[in-house]
Chains A and B, each alone.
Chain A
Amino acid sequence: MHRGGGRSGSIGSLAVALLIAVLTGCGPYPQPTAEKDCAREVLSDWSDGGIDGVYDDRCYVAAIDALPEDLRAYTSAGDDIARALRSRRALTDVSASDARHLAEAPVTDAGQAGKAGLENLPLPVVLLGGFVIALAAAGLVPFALRRLRRSS
Chain B
Amino acid sequence: MTVRIALSAALSAAVVLGGASSASASPAALYGIQDDAWLEHGPGTLESRLDELARMGVDVVRYTVRWDRVAPKRPVTPRDPRDAAYDWWTTDAVLRGLHRHGIDPVVTLYGAPRWANGGRPPNWAPTAGQFGDFAHAAASRYPWARLWTIWNEPNRSQWLRPTSPRTYVEKLLNPAYAQIRSVIEGARVGGGMTAPRAGSGGISPIAWITSMGDLGARLDAYAHHPYPSRPQTETPWGPACDRCSSLTMADLERLVDVVHRSLGRKRVWLTEFGYQTNPPDHYLGVSVQTQAAHVASAVRRVQVAPYVDMLIFFLFRDDAADEGWQSGFTTVDGERKPAYAAFRFPLSRTSRRGDLVEVWGQIRPRDGPQPYRIEILRNGRRSWLTAVRRTDPRGVLAVTVRAPAGSVVRLWSVRDRAYGSELRV
Contacts and interface: CB of A to CB of B under 8 A. Distances in A.
Contact of B195 (A47, A48, A74): A74
B230 A74 contact: no
Given A49-B230, A49-B233, A50-B233, A68 B197 contact: no
Interface residues of A, number: 18
Interface of A: 43-44, 46-50, 68-77, 80
A84 to B, nearest CB: 13
Contacts of A43: 283
B128 to A, nearest CB: 29
Contacts of B276: 70
B284 A70 contact: yes
B283 A68 contact: yes
A141 B283 CA distance: 52
B199 A72 contact: yes
B376 to A, nearest CB: 30
9 contacts: A47-B278, A47-B285, A48-B232, A49-B230, A49-B233, A68-B283, A69-B323, A74-B195, A75-B230
Contacts of B282: 44, 47
A76 B246 contact: yes
Given A68-B284, A75-B228, A76-B197, 20 more contacts: A44-B282, A46-B283, A47-B232, A47-B278, A48-B232, A49-B232, A50-B233, A68-B283, A68-B323, A69-B323, A70-B284, A70-B325, A71-B283, A71-B284, A73-B156, A74-B199, A74-B229, A75-B227, A76-B230, A76-B246
Nearest to B244: A76
Binding site secondary structure of chain B: loop
Interface string B170-205: 000000000000000000000000011101101000
Contacts of A71: 283-284
A47 B283 CA distance: 5
B231 interface: yes
Contacts of A74: 195-197, 199, 227, 229
B286 to A, nearest CB: 9
A65 to B, nearest CB: 12
B158 A73 contact: yes
Nearest to A74: B227
Contacts of A70: 276, 284, 323, 325
Nearest to B198: A73
B283 A44 contact: yes
Contacts of B229: 74-76
* Most chain B beta carbons < 10 A, residue from A70, A74, A76: A74
A70 B225 CA distance: 13
Interface string B139-160: 0000000000000000010100
Nearest to A43: B283
A128 B231 CA distance: 42
* Most chain B beta carbons < 10 A, residue from A44, A70, A75: A75
Contact of A75 (B158, B244, B284, B323): B284
Contacts of A49: 230, 232-233
Contacts of A68: 283-284, 323
B279 to A, nearest CB: 13
Interface string B373-389: 00000000000000000
